[in-house]
Structure 1
Amino acid sequence: MTDSTDPQDTGNDTGSDAGSRPSWWRRLSSGLKRTSASIGGAIADLVTKRKLDHAVIEELEEALIRADLGIETAVAIAGKVGEGRYDKQVSADEVKAILAEEVEKILVPVAKPLVIDAARKPFVVLVVGVNGSGKTTTIGKLAARLTAEGRKVVLAAGDTFRAAAIEQLKIWGTRTGSPVIAGAQGGDAASLAFEALEAARTRAADVLIVDTAGRLQNKTALMGELEKIVRVMRKVDATAPHAVLLVLDATVGQNALSQVEVFSKIAGVTGLVMTKLDGTARGGILVAVAAKFGLPVHFIGVGEGVDDLSPFAAKDFARAVAGIDG
């Protein structure tokens, strides 16, 4: 096993959410452009020249379903639009306002920060998700946030299936000043997690973040590997892991629902991070995920930069989905 870090790089180039809202809002609204444009175009087509009737409501439902908001959510929102407005002219802005309000109601209960319990030291965060979802990059960005807050972080390169994941995590370790416990490609991930937890305790680290493989095509093997990681870590700390974060790729649409279901069963997911909110994202799926599973959403990622991971804000997300400015 190797321990990689660069003590000269403290990762203090992470930026801050404070004072940067206009920039953040532009990135968020741009990242949800595909969803908001799809919904906005459909709304405009439906209400510009027609009075509200059952046919319009049904077409609105279909547009919201196509935007991945989920059937139940689409029906509820369309029903809300119709309340007291049948046979009346309604503007696109009115419909968007109702949409934003109803989406916000769904998202507010799940918009929860990741709380690091200082009494559990190190606080162990197990990060799971399919390969390609952005797990390793998310770990790096999270490490940057935590070190900027003054916390001592150790990273564990537990995705031993991919050499690229190990090297990528080492780069993030250097950027954030976080020691990286890593082994050779193909090594035993559970043994590495055990060693990383012991190393984190020896170093009096505040947080240990553990990367994992995400080979969903073989659920049985993945389940066995994750269960073993948890089992061996509990030999060092009976309460570990203290958080299990599932990283979801916003571009996968409906597949996100099955990923949440599978990883919740395999790993006991405690919270979500949605990544890759770019111009191709199908971000409406986060609304469907929230409505169906009710899992806390801690962060969303809107780019590749170290400061492009931000705490999830329900109102901002809802307004961006609806295509409402600022």
Structure 2
Amino acid sequence: MPTRLHLIRASHLHPVIQYMQTLSMPVESLLEEAELSLALLVEPNQLILEKKVWRFLELAAEFNNMPHLATSLTEQSHLSQYGGFTEHLLKADNLYQALQFLIQEINLHHNNNYFWIQESEECIWICRPQHPYIKDNQWQVEQHVMSLLCMLIEFYAGEGWLPKKIKLQDNKAVGIERSRFFKNTEIKLGQPYSAIAIDHILLKDRSLISQFPKPSSLDYIPDSFVQGFKLLLKQNYFGQSWLAENIATALETSVRTLKRKLHSQGTSLRKVFDEVRFQQACDLIEQDVHDYDVLAEKLSYTHANNFVRAFKRWSGITPREYIRLRNIELLKKNEAW
């Protein structure tokens, strides 16, 4: 089982799905085969397991017999369509700032990928490493990321920019000639990392982005397995009913391995469930949801009394006492103002 959960925001799939729908592709059945669903992807900041995103693209490529599908889908979209992080990339003063923001803040959008800049006498390379765990559909990943990088560079370099050289990890790169960026590019296959050559002149301005704010609506996607797991639970990635067997299947592991993983990080499945449910209950109360029946229903308890007992176990006090203390605290704050 991976040492962390590799997560990506649902917004990353939205433009891809929109374009697939214009091609009359069976999006819902392909998502289902990849163990995803349209309902799960409605909220842009919903976190999903990244491996399933690439599995979805691989299935779509097989369905259409288009090994270059990821390139075609990506290049039909605009960078701003991929969510708050990519939209923010387009607000830098220059290309160097945008690349620095990408390198420094990538885990606002995705907690696995990372990039670096490598300089040579003839050009500057923006590089990304091999994917640590995706094997079968590596080519779909590489196409998509490289096309997105080219779109970012083009945004700052001007329409018509083309890379003179690229390096690809894939040994075959089937259909790469279908990309509008790579038709006349010198391509090196089977490399230890992917990279795109950028002319020195495009990065002549090296002003830093130390004061460049991150998108206010986005929190970093954690690298911690436990924190990532809690976020998936909180966002109902596994549905409302938290059955250990279903969760383990969704994570492509066994219940025993999942429990062992959590134990190695100082917690347990029961403890994680309790912490997330308590946080969800507090969040609902903060939204002025005080009816016990409503709270119980939203937290998947069959009866309000079961919810009250659980809340007292979590916090040491009843929900009524918690609400009373919260109201006192709010009153004190209002009086201070």
Under a length normalisation based on structure 1, what TM-score does the superposition of the two structures give?
0.26
Larger Rg: 2
Q: Greater relative contact order: 1 or 2 (C-alpha under 8 angstroms, separation 6 or more)?
A: 1
